A and B are shown apart, each in its own frame.
Chain A
């Protein structure tokens, strides 16, 4: 401990003695670490597990039921017909199951004197949506009747329409119809949005309105996501009976046995359709868990990955620069090192003293890197506005930043330190 305090005293002395040099070195390393940290913050949001408590138990259902064979369409589809979705919902094998499609509506507090309508992102889905996705309720809960004009609204819309109060039982006007609020969600920042990771929507906000699927179809809520069909249709309600592929389905299967049973259930269904001549494909239904599904949809932006590699290389350049600066400093401090060695400091003493110095430099570098990193992150988010609410320096990134800063400081001083502790003693002293 005594020696550690002595090393601290010497390091403090050296820092005072070579202020400009250390400012230059700390800045060089801090810029490298900061750029890396800003990039990691973005990468972390993009590659994070949105529902870690059960991401390995929730599966996106992909099926082969498309009725026509083209050149390259043998892969199962994640968009399903109404009747395929209903077949999935009918099964009692999954713990929870849901089907959904995205829509857009205009909303107004029916009691409001204002006629202003707020545009709202809507999700037509089934009641188990909330249990499967662990959506957090502030007030009320899900609907019990799949045909009722009941809705669950998000926190933002509740704020806009009702000023954030408990709005259970209040009515919202949507498309000339009144819908009763049965549930209000807490602010829900689900990133990535695994239940709609396709069409580059993985970083969209969670929805404003959640309505029963049947109600949405009956009210002809339009489909505002990818759809494919082999038959023409006019209204959403027509899609129940036609070959229109647009719904996504997710199931929660808590164990391998459940998964195997459900896979059989899907395969039997596809086989029965094939036997009836409804599709020409070999049976190839797939269940992707949440992280597999996010990977398959390439949720992590490839540009970000390329940039991450560039920032690592940039940090390496910063380390080399800092290392050459230190090499020059140790060269100029040869006399003092030689003198210390002559009066009894071992190579280890010289090395430990340098290591303590690099720890102090690393700590200063960490503080500066966190400030610069935060600024770089704010700037980077102008390029990725959809991540603005999610990407930040959380505690794990802060600790990582401190660790990287200290490690880079130590790395940059390693070679100069080895050189300094191995320099010839007799040549330095006269």
Chain B
């Protein structure tokens, strides 16, 4: 599904070169759920930007669902982003004065679907995230957790090959965070490939495959046994007590 080989990304100013990613190798298979962890400034977000085709890279090769993305033009990259990737952001990134329907509709418009098909997909995505009756609401009329679920619905509506989530629970309280994580696990169980960037070790522990990034390189790849319901509850409880 995703295959990065020796990826490097360098940010240059007049005097300084910063290697955000160096010799970065990662292969994610279809249906996998991967957590990318690491300290601030380690390159997690740069990795996610490169993986999501929001940013380019300076060296190496990157194949997404069998397509070599190197050298693709803007039109082709946009189409790939639209068709194969679903983004979930920490700040939800919903347009505040568009209602839920119009927010989810946005990526579908650029795909050229008919009005009927768009409606079908939006309703189906809202159903998947459990907010089927809220399509006329404005984002501000929903809780943070609901807004993030709308953002997930927007990502799901295009039926992407892979979901990329950047700290998707970073702005949520523990209960809502848990609901969102449960939703992501459920989507993974239904076959979605998901990569999530997080700096929450407990959250990472709930995900089967962990990748740790330090100084732009992968330093550890661990496979965990999926946590059971009790473990997830404990994580939520610990987080609530810490808060």
Contact = CB atoms under 8 A, between A and B. Distances in A.
B partners with A = yes
Contacts of B71: none
Most buried by A among B81, B90, B98: B81
A343 interface: yes
B78 A425 contact: no
B177 to A, nearest CB: 17
B158 to A, nearest CB: 8
Contacts of A344: 78-79, 81-83, 107, 110-111, 158
Contacts of B52: 342
B91 interface: yes
A429 B54 contact: yes
A330 to B, nearest CB: 16
Interface in A307-364: 335-336, 339-349
Contacts of A342: 52, 54, 81, 87, 93
Interface size class of chain B, counting residues whose CB lies under 8 Å from the partner chain: 20 to 34
Interface residues of A, number: 23
A340 B90 contact: no
Interface of B: 45, 49, 52, 54-55, 74-75, 78-79, 81-83, 87, 89-91, 93, 95, 97-98, 106-107, 109-112, 115, 154, 158, 166
Nearest to A2: B112
Contacts of B112: 2-3
A186 to B, nearest CB: 59
Contacts of B49: 425-426
A90 interface: no
Contact of A430 (B55, B83, B166): B166
A257 B93 CA distance: 79
A174 to B, nearest CB: 78
A211 B87 CA distance: 89
Nearest to B171: A430
Interface string A144-156: 0000000000000
A339 B93 contact: yes
A69 interface: no
Contacts of B54: 342, 425-426, 429
A99 to B, nearest CB: 73
B109 A3 contact: yes
Nearest to A336: B95
B81 A348 contact: no
A340 B75 contact: no
A345 B55 contact: no
13 contacts: A340-B106, A344-B78, A344-B82, A344-B83, A344-B107, A344-B111, A346-B79, A346-B110, A347-B75, A425-B49, A426-B45, A426-B49, A429-B93
B78 to A, nearest CB: 4
B168 to A, nearest CB: 12
Nearest to A424: B55
Given A340-B110, A343-B110, 6 more contacts: A3-B112, A6-B109, A344-B158, A347-B74, A348-B75, A430-B166
